Amino acid sequence: MLKKINHIAVAVNDVEASSRLFSEVLGLPGGGIEVFDNFEVKVAFFTIGEVKIELVEPLNPEGGLAKFLAKRGEGVHHIAFDVDDVAAALSHYKAKGVRLINEQPEPGANDTLVAFLHPKSTGGVLLELCQPAPPAGG
């Protein structure tokens, strides 16, 4: 079901400051900063080869990402994989006993549908499933 790594997410306290590191110091091409209210985060993506690095800053000081940063500090937060069909992948993994964070796909960055698998079922690593969003009206 997993096709390839879509991105590796890095939890940061300040996406603007971290973006400067990735763009100006490391020289990685990137896009702008986006806010996703449904996940209560601010993100920026940078590309290296076929993989993206996602910098993700919490907007809710009581949310899961803020708790992650308070406990572990800045660093790798999750790994995202491309799949053809997030809903089908969720059904497949649920049937195999994997604990889901999302029962249904949600809109994500870069015109995708996304869902997360709980790290308690995936060896302690938060995994994200990504699929290109269907065209509007289709």
- CATH number, position 79: 3.10.180.10
What is the span of the domain harbouring residue 99?
4-132
pLDDT in tens, 64-123: 999 999 999 999 999 999 999 999 999 999 999 999 999 999 999 888 999 999 999 999
Question: Does residue 137 form part of some domain?
Answer: no
Mean pLDDT of the chain: 93
Question: Does residue 44 form part of some domain?
Answer: yes
Q: Is the pLDDT of residue 10 over 60?
A: yes
Tokens of 25: 């110091």
Edge-to-edge strand list for the sheet holding 75-82: 30-36, 41-48, 51-58, 4-11, 75-82, 126-132, 112-117, 106-108
- 33 falls in which pLDDT band (50, 70, 90)? very high
23-51: burial string, b at 16+ Cβ within 10 Å, e else: eeeeebebeeeeebeebbbbbbbbeeeee
Is-contact 94 87, C-beta < 8 A? no
The predicted structure's pLDDT at residue 135: 67
Domain count of the chain? 1
